[in-house]
Every structure is written in structure tokens, then in C-alpha cells.
Amino acid sequence: MAFSLALLGASTYEAPVALDSYDLLATEILTGTQASIVFDNLTSTYGADYQHLQIRMTSRDTKSDTTANFLLRINEVTTNSYAHHRLYASLSSLNSYASTSTSAIIAGVTTSANAPSSAFGSTVIDVLDFASTSKTTTTRSFSGAVAANNYLVFSSGLYNSTDAVASVTILGESSNSFVAGSRFSLYGIRKAA
């Protein structure tokens, strides 16, 4: 249902998406180490029915540390076509970072090899209006990982192209790989009826 919000400068109000509007589209659970995870054929397969995509992941990587950043690329583009902002919070500090003209979006943080053996990081990534060809693609994510201070990270990203999102690649930073037991699930958020 839509109604006028002209007094507020908006033409219509769109009701929020109902919780049951999320559909599980694909899941990959790793049985060994893997450098990247790719969800592809996104626009051609899901563009007619879904407005946004969401990736939910629990992960751990091979870096010799307690945590590590991980990256996101769109359409397998490796040129400096990305920008991102990050807010890191721990028990002892709060830091923010921004980067432009990068070869990938730093999309969040994951637990790494020196963390407790059963600990995995958790992340939710939204890829907004993925099938649009009239605006650049933006992402937002929220992640957390076990470390000495336990990190929470809020991130936003930009893919500076109006191309529709045909594929999303998640990869470890600095050639780190994700380990067995890491899980990556792709959800679609249905278009308003």
C-alpha cells in the first residue's frame, strides 16, 4: 500500500518488506579451504522477482591472527572501481576508515586461525537494487568476530558502475582462504507486489 508524503518531500510511502519476503536462493558450505565464493547469474536468474540480495555468512579464514578483513567484488571487476566506509568497534576502541578507488570492497571481518578453534565470524551483507542499470550499486554489511576484544564492524560499499550485478565474489584479504565449515547463503528480497 502506498500513500502520499508530499509534505515531507517524498511522493509515496512503500510499506516495509515483510519478514517472509526473504527467499533462500543458494547455500555453499565449505568442506575444505577455498579462496573465494562466487554467486553468479544473479540478474538473469533473480532480477525479475527480487529487489535486493542478502548474503548471510559464518566464516573463518587461514590468516595467522585472530581476525581478518574479507573482500567483496561485483561482476569479477578487479580495477579501482570501488569505495567503502567502515566503523570498527571493540571492547576498548572505536575506529573508522574510508577508502576510494580500491580493487574491492572491504565488506567485513571474519574470525581467523589464532582465534578459539570453534569460533566463526558472522556477517550479513545487503546488495541493494542489484538488477538496476540506472544507478551505481551500493552494499551495506554488519559483521562480528571473536578476538581479544571481540570486533563488530559496520560497512558500506560502492561499486562505481551502473551495470546490473551479475555476480558477487567474496574472498579473503591478502590471499587468505576460508576454511571448512564456513557457510555462505544467498537470499533474495522480493519486489513489492
How confident is the model over 105-118, as pLDDT tens digits? 999 999 999 999 88
CATH of domain 21-190: 2.60.120
Contacts of 40 (CB under 8 A, 6+ apart): 166, 167
Closest to 174 measured CA to CA, from 69, 87, 85, 88? 69
Q: What is the pLDDT of residue 146?
A: 83
* Residues 31-38, mean pLDDT to the nearest whole number: 97
Q: Where are the domains of the chain?
A: 21-190
How confident is the model over 140-151, as pLDDT tens digits? 999 999 877 788
Statement: residue 42 has pLDDT above 70: yes
* Residues 31-48, mean pLDDT to the nearest whole number: 97
DSSP codes of every residue in 47-77? TTTEEEEEEEEEEBB--SSSEEEEEEEETT-
State the Cα–Cα distance between residues 84 and 43, nearest whole angstrom: 23
State the Cα–Cα distance between residues 69 and 23, nearest whole angstrom: 27
* Residues 163-180, mean pLDDT to the nearest whole number: 95
